[in-house]
Structure 1
Amino acid sequence: MTHRDRTILITGATSGLGRELARTLSTAGGRLILHGRDPEKLDSLRTELAASSAVIDTVAADLSDLAQVRSLAADVAELTDHLSVLVNNAGLGKGSDDTRQVSPDGFELRLAVNHLAPFALSLGLLPLLEAGAPSRIVHVASGAQQPLDLDDPHMEYGYSGSRAYAQSKLAMVATGFMLAEHLPAEVTTLNSLHPATLMPTRMVQEGYGYTVDDLSSGVAASRHLIESDAVAGVSGQYFSGTERAEAHPEAYNPETQQRLWQLSQELTGTSL
């Protein structure tokens, strides 16, 4: 598929890595469907990219709310009959303190946004991805991963922002491995990545107050999974930057994967 024929959905496109990725991809033509939570920020982004060679559409949804995640999938289906790439980029960092927050559905907030939303959105968009075959799902995860206490997935005890973030990213990666096993790689691939370390984004500044890598590193890593021929047909892998890497060992545990999958289906009300 040529760049001008492809349709890419990027979640969390109004700031940080998502915005820079959208700006970079917009120069290659095709169609970008850009998601954000704030309609005004989406309007600003559309204006910024108006002169680009890509067709730009925007969709608004708060991914902490599963009803809005489902509406987002429906809105995307109204815009296009196929997807070439789904980039699950939107997420929450560890936060500025260790105050536990919950989603509108009553779930621990980082689990809801960083894992349950992309899980439900990916399943909801599978028909469009199948229609856009060969298509790709890219999970923007993190090198920060930590096993979940599956008896307390919403962290009602012993909460910390760092642990909530790391647990949500392990859940994203582990269920991504499992979903990849269910998808024919010639139709849709799914890979997860750690794009870069502490890039200059709002979540990093809020949580850490300093940066390490720049956004261009994260864009390069993301684009590798989005469009590189080197990963055509490659699925169920974890990348650090542009290189294959090993996720946390617990992400490969079949029992953990199965329990996380069942929990994710129950909480989101979605299934294959």
Structure 2
Amino acid sequence: MPWTATAIPDQSGRLALVTGASSGLGLETARALVARGATVILACRSRPRAERAREELLPAAACGGALDLLDLDLADLTTVVTAARQVAERYGRLDLLINNAGVMGLPRSLTRQGFERQFGINHLGHFALTLALLPVLRGRPDARIVTVTSGAQYFGRIDFDDLQGERRYDRWKAYGQSKLANVMFAIELQRRLEADGASVLSLAAHPGVARTNLQPASVAASGSWLEPLAYRLMAPLFQSAAMGALPQLFAATAPEVTPAGHYGPDQWGGMRGWPTPVRVAPAALEAGQRQRLWQLSSELCDRACPGWSESLAPSPRP
């Protein structure tokens, strides 16, 4: 029997934060959670788009859920720190953090603090946000952090010698690197949480090939005539954003998840279908590489944004 959004347990009384909730996977994730009674914080870069999303989601909230807005620009670590503080001051707690927002296949450009944009938004922004929010997740019953990766993790490689693509840049290699970093972060975070005695679960999920605004944004940014043709040829493989959101909803709510679990679609080699446990990119299983990425990510955040503090994170223990 396939797992669908109707299997989501009652979320009444739970507080969820979804990044990139104004469209695509984030919007569908927020819709499913608020329909089951959760209070969902729509964490978005654009306030007008977030307000439109809230209006669209209000009917789903009629059964007892609630919606709130949070300004969050993952390309600017100062707003990440500010957003985390606002959650702590406004609510003092958090039950679900879904690191969903992302960009894909962009020509090289930089974040506010000078990081390559795909690595900076997809990985570093969520790295900093998660660690800043850990204090309000700790101690909450069944608290979970879900980091959304993609099938691009399987061909990704962390280029520690040219992490920001300064010497050589390929937009798809940079995307694969950021998505591999997502799943490496999720696994390493679970290890550190367990070492610290914390009950918070860290999980990862990928949507398969889902139709979202990432594809048109990539086409518009690249100016390529070949890319839209490729997407048209691949059209029969694409599933809806609602289907693509199911693996992260499963990770966020299903009772049967396992620590550091990784979930994705069950058909066509993980391109579409119903949520199921799926294999992790072999590169993400190398503990030394995960720890190196963690340390470097922490140093980059510290250097770029002195207000961000590693002390908010669980302390690693041998």
| Secondary structure in 2 matching 1:125 | helix
| Secondary structure in 1 matching 2:42 | strand
| Secondary structure in 1 matching 2:58 | coil
| Secondary structure in 2 matching 1:239 | strand
**Partner residue, 1:249:** 282
**Partner residue, 1:136:** 144
Matched to 1:218, the amino acid is G
Q: Where in structure 1 do 4 or more consecutive aligned residues deviate above 4 Å?
A: none
CA deviation digits over 1:68-109, x for unaligned, max 9?
A: 1111111111221211110000100113xxx21111101111
Structure 1 residue 143, shift from structure 2 partner = 1.1
- Distance, in Å, in 2 between the alignment partners of 1:186 and 1:149 is 31
| Greater Rg over alpha carbons, structure | 2
- Distance, in Å, in 2 between the alignment partners of 1:92 and 1:14 is 14
Structure 1 residue 186, shift from structure 2 partner = 6.7
Which of 264, 267, 288 is 1:240 aligned to?
264
**Partner residue, 1:260:** 293
Which structure 2 residues correspond to residues 102-251 of structure 1 after superposition, within 5 A? 102-145=110-153, 146-184=156-194, 187-197=199-209, 199-207=210-218, 208-209=227-228, 210=231, 211=235, 212-231=238-257, 234-241=258-265, 242-251=275-284
Say how many residue pairs are matched.
Answer: 266
Runs of 5+ consecutive residues of structure 2 not aligned to the other structure: 1-8, 219-226, 266-274, 303-308, 314-318
Q: Provide TM-score, normalisation by structure 2.
A: 0.80
- Distance, in Å, in 1 between the alignment partners of 2:217 and 2:245 is 21
Q: Provide TM-score, normalisation by structure 1.
A: 0.92
The answer on whether the counterparts of 2:10 and 2:37 sit within 8 Å (CA) in structure 1 is no
| Secondary structure in 1 matching 2:158 | coil
- Distance, in Å, in 2 between the alignment partners of 1:253 and 1:157 is 26
The answer on whether the counterparts of 2:142 and 2:199 sit within 8 Å (CA) in structure 1 is yes
Runs of 5+ consecutive residues of structure 1 not aligned to the other structure: none
* Identity fraction in percent: 34
Which of 67, 75, 80 is 1:69 aligned to?
80
Q: 1:106 to 1:230 in 2, by over 3 A?
A: same
Structure 1 residue 157, shift from structure 2 partner = 2.1
**Partner residue, 1:50:** 58
Structure 1 residue 2, shift from structure 2 partner = 4.6
- Distance, in Å, in 2 between the alignment partners of 1:30 and 1:159 is 42
Which of 19, 36, 57 is 1:28 aligned to?
36
| Secondary structure in 2 matching 1:67 | helix
The answer on whether the counterparts of 2:204 and 2:248 sit within 8 Å (CA) in structure 1 is no
Q: 1:133 to 1:268 in 2, by over 3 A?
A: farther
| Secondary structure in 2 matching 1:81 | coil
| Secondary structure in 1 matching 2:216 | helix
Which of 25, 29, 36 is 1:17 aligned to?
25
The answer on whether the counterparts of 2:11 and 2:33 sit within 8 Å (CA) in structure 1 is no
**Partner residue, 1:88:** 99
